[in-house]
Amino acid sequence: MNLLWTILGSALNVAAVVLLAPLAEGVLRKITARIQSRQGPPLLQPYYDLLKLLGKEDLESGECPRVQRFAACLAPTAILAVATFLPMGFAAPMHAHGDVILLVYLLTLVGISTLLAGLAAGSAYSLLGISREMMTMITLEPLFAVALIAGAVHTRSFHLDTVLHGSVYATPGVPWSGFLLLGVFLLALPAFVQRVPFDVAEAETEIMEGALMEYSGPKLALIKFAQMAKLVTYCGLFVALFAPWGSHLVFPVGWLVFWLKVFLLVLLVTFVAATHARYRVDQAIRYFALLLGAACVALVLASLGH
Amino acid sequence: MIARETLNALKTRFGPALIRADLPADNRLFVWVLPEVVRDLSRYVFRDLDARYVISIGADDRPFSGNYLVAHNFAFDRDHLLASLLVHLPPDAPRIDSITDVVPAANWAEREIRDLLGIEPVGHVQPKRLVLPDGWPDDVHPLRKDVPWNIAPAGFDPSRDYPFDPPPPGCTVVPFGPFHPTLDEPAHFRLFVEGEVVRGCEYRGFMVHRGIEKLAESVLTYNEVPMAAERICGICGCVHNVAYAQAVESAAAIQAPPRAEYIRTIMLEIERLHSHLLWVGLACHIVGFDTLFMQSFRIREPVMWIAEKISGNRKTYALCVIGGVRWDLTPDLQSELRQVLDRLESEWQTAVAAIRNDRNLQRRTRDVGVTPPALVKDAALIGPVARAAGVDIDCRRDHPYAAYDRVAFDVVTHQGGDVWGRVVVRMLEVFESIRIIRQCLDKMEPGPIQLSITDDLPAGRLGLSSVEAPRGESHHFVVTGENQRPRRWRVRAPTYQNLQAIPAMIRDQQLADMTIALGSIDPCFSCTDRMETIDIRSGTARTWTQAELLAQTRARPE
């Protein structure tokens, strides 16, 4: 029974991300266009884009085609694996098979797949892209670990269901550390999903999509899909950590509430992207370092029980 | 008076070396000098008299005087004078002392003379090929009169490579272009990058030459050239159209009627409006701020529509003939133009306020691509790039043409010489352009729009014309000739000078700033690359290579 539920729930989560991620991207594009006084593409355009890319010839233009193919597959796999650890209106399907530490590893794997893709492509621009990606990862990834650990400290548990349910606020008094982390995460969200102003690792007008520049056809479709999935999955993680209210309502109400909140976060990302210029990589890193400092303060507060 | 005083200053110092002088007007000076003194004379004019270097021109004058001709043009901006130092060189193995060690800005111009006319600049600081393609044979010089315009030289070697400089130790080479999303035209920068910092770069451009100058000297006639000149550039074509017409008019001592001058002024300013709006949009796009890019283009669109209503085209207005313009502005069009300007002004004020308050944008553009005043002087930088560094030059005021002497406007300057300064200068110049157009509409009186010229234009006369393009001074030099066409016509687009300063502007900056620094001069490569005489045959030679390349890329690995 338990195994059946794990499989069914995982399939449900993966299906939701696969089906809804392009829609979120479509909403993002449409709203962006409206802010820019444009008509914008149809809401379903990202689906068509992915289908078209999947149907194209599979060119092999990089240094190491085998690794490139592997990296292109790893990217969506890793992010969908993260999705199975997410409570989307019901308990996280894989909660019995992993804990918070595994989740942190999986999130890192998502970044690693981009590094691998860029390294295997081997062009000057993709190498520049991954060096930027790496700098971003080093300063950004600890943020998630800090938030999860703060939650774990509060609840004295590494269990997914416990931590991924607003655990950052689980203190007896006013949850100062939770509020601080909430602020940090709101500021860092566009960076986690690599949108303007933090898309330095791709930066079309500077380094021509960086790590992605040698990719086309089905491989590009997989990587592009991974980016779209990343957008909703990170928003989902944010909801689980910081705004879980309503997710425990009976299925499908809880499920709908969850996805509604995810789409609200997508809107936030859209507005930030449409009203900002891209940071230069050194400016972005300085910004992340500041956030990391604040997160560390939050961790100290959490360990002191606030 | 100024022309005469300058000539006297030259006489007292270089008396015996001056052969002949010509002062056709008080704002023009032509001095023929001996080749031996040209370097010292250039230094004196550039450093001691503090003139601005404009361009050097080479011409094959053998069928007429038996000699080659080289001219170094200088501008005395404060004194409203354009001067030209001319040298005749013997027809066999022509050589001239390079002035690049005293006038660094002459780097490209002398290399171009070497490529296209085979005149050797002795002592050049960087004697490398500039204009001709890599495989072009060394002994064929397309602008010589005995070389036909459609030459296909024997000995074109498609396998020959350009000898690039080796990168400095510790640096990797990052190729920037020929094709890059932020370059709308092909140009190649080899960046020497250490981590994320650019330590130097080498430029190889001139990939879109179309042989327009040679065409004008050998195929077109006086009134056909403006149409070709307009196609030098897709953004500031009207500038070249007007500058050419004015250069010929100045050589032949023709004055266009007042109404034609007003119409020229109006169209030049309309062109500046759309060009600046386009640039602000593109600059925002380069730093990833696409919302302002889109808004800027939306605000710009009515300008394109009114241009189309007036001239029949969004661009390529087909404005000038020698001695006037080709079409008139009807009262209906004038009132519609005023409405467009009113709307543009209010919308642009909103956009400017938004940009000025955007800290994020300023963080990306302040202290980026800095041009200190010394660099402005040495590289002879012009236009918004110079004005953003606090150098107060503007051809509209300094060398007035068309109706600019009859309208009031301010020359916008800024301090700092960074990209942000260039953004501010361009944004505010939009308001000055609106002001100028409104005054022209007020002051324009009915009258003829072109002269009827029945006589042939005199041959062998020299004409200079500087027009302030959106990117800076566009300078045209014309020698009138026989068969209804010029003997020599040299176009110096503003990017030709500004682009030469890019290596200095991006040195030791972040790689991420390269695109916005380059973008900030508003580069126009097709203007810069305007002359080349190859196309046809080298085209076929390359087609073969391309086909082979294509076959290789499409072949599946076994």
DSSP string, B131-192: SS-TTS-TT--TTSTTS-TT---TT--TT----PPPPPTT-EEEEE-SSBTTBSS--EEEEE
Q: Which of A199, A200, A274 is closest, CB to CB, to B291? A: A274
Rounded-to-integer distance, Cα B281 and Cα B296, Å: 5
Q: Are residues B133 and B216 in the same domain?
A: no
Domain check: are B61 and B132 in the same one? yes
Name the pLDDT band for A181 (thresholds 50, 70, 90): confident
Does B177 fall in a domain?
Answer: no
pLDDT in tens, B222-246: 999 999 888 888 888 899 999 999 9
On the question of pLDDT at A93 being above 60, the answer is: yes
Q: Which of A37, A274, A280 sits opposite B513 (nearest CB)?
A: A280
Q: Are B323 and B453 in contact (CB under 8 A)?
A: yes
Its pTM stands at 0.82
A56 touches chain B (CB under 8 A): no
Neighbours of A167 (CB within 10 A): 28
CA distance A54 to chain B (A): 19
Query: Which residues of chain B are within 8 Å of residue A278 when distances are taken between CB atoms?
Result: 287-289, 364
Instruction: Tell which of B151, B167, B202 closes a domain.
Output: B151
Domain annotation covers residue B196: no
- Residue B139 CB neighbours (<10 A): 8
Asked whether residue B412 falls in the same domain as residue B271, the answer is yes
Interface check for A279 against chain B (CB to CB < 8 A): the answer is: yes
CATH number at residue B120: 3.30.460.80
Distance from CA of A182 to the nearest CA of B (A): 23
For every residue of A104-162, DSSP letters joined together read: HHHHHHHHHHHHHHHHHH--HHHHHHHHHHHHHHHHHHHHHHHHHHHHHHHHT--BHHH
Going from N- to C-terminal start, the domains of chain A cover: 2-303
Task: Report in angstroms the alpha-carbon separations of B546 from B219, B337, B550.
Answer: 30, 48, 6
Q: How many CB atoms lie within 10 A of CB B199?
A: 18
Q: Cα(B400)–Cα(B404) distance, rounded to whole angstroms?
A: 6
Interchain pair B181, A281: CB under 8 A: no
> In a 3-state reduction of DSSP, which class is residue B547?
helix
pLDDT at residue A251, as a whole number: 73
Dump the DSSP string for A187-222: HHHHHHTT-TTS-TTT-HHHHTTGGGTT--HHHHHH
Would residue B265 count as lying in a domain? Answer: yes
Confidence band for B540, pLDDT divided at 50, 70 and 90: very low
What distance lies between CA B316 and its chain's CA centroid? 17
What confidence category does residue B545 fall into, taking pLDDT thresholds of 50, 70 and 90?
low
Residues near B558 by beta carbon (within 8 Å), at least 6 away in sequence = none
Percent of chain B at pLDDT > 90 equals 44
Contact residues on chain B for A187, CB-CB shorter than 8 A: none
> Both B130 and B252 in a single domain?
no
Indicate the residue type of B233. C
What is the per-residue pLDDT across B248-297, written as a single tens digit (0 to 9) for each?
A: 999 999 999 999 999 999 999 999 999 999 988 888 888 878 888 888 99
Asked whether residue B330 is assigned to any structural domain, the reply reads yes
Nearest Cβ partner of A36 from B180, B290, B511? Answer: B290
CB B357 within 8 A of CB B83: no
Beta-sheet pairing, B81-89 with B28-33: parallel
Residue B257 structural domain = 212-530
Candidates B182, B196, B358, partner chain A, best to mutate (most A CBs within 10 A)? B196
Give contacts of A277 with chain B, Cβ < 8 Å. Answer: 284, 287-289, 358, 360-361, 364
> Among residues B136, B151, B166, which one ends one of the domains?
B151
Least confident of A59-68, A88-97, A106-115, B422-431: A88-97
Rounded to whole angstroms, how far apart are CA atoms B42 and B54? 12
Same domain (yes/no): B75, B224: no
CB contact under 8 A, A37 and B298: yes
| Residue A44 CB coordination number (10 Å) | 11
Taking the Cβ of residue A124 and every Cβ of chain B, the question of whether any pair is shorter than 8 Å is answered with: yes
Report pLDDT digits (tens) over B365-393: 888 888 888 899 999 999 999 999 999 99
List alpha helices for B287-412, DSSP H.
290-311, 331-356, 359-365, 373-378, 383-388, 395-398
User: Is the CB of B364 less than 8 angstroms away from the CB of A277?
Assistant: yes
Q: For residues B274 and B420, state if they share a domain.
A: yes
| Tens digit of each residue's pLDDT (9 = 90 or more) over A27-54 | 999 998 988 888 889 999 999 999 999 9
Nearest CA in chain A to B518: A206
Please tell me the least confidently modeled range out of A106-110, B45-49, B285-289. B285-289
Instruction: Tell whether B377 and B267 lie within a shared domain.
Output: yes
Contact at CB, B181 and A208, closer than 8 angstroms:
yes
Interface of B with A in 59-88 (CB under 8 A): none
- Kindly provide the ipTM of the predicted complex, given to two decimals: 0.74
Choose the mutation target among A37, A194, A280 for the interface with B, i.e. most B CBs under 10 Å: A280
Is B138 in the same domain as B222? no
B510 touches chain A (CB under 8 A): yes
- Structurally, chain B folds into a number of domains equal to 2
Chain B residues touching residue A282 (CB < 8 angstroms): 196, 510
A115–B contact, CB cutoff 8 A:
no
Q: Is residue B88 part of a domain?
A: yes
Q: What CATH number did the domain enclosing B457 receive?
A: 1.10.645.10
Residues of B in contact with A203 (CB under 8 A): 288, 512
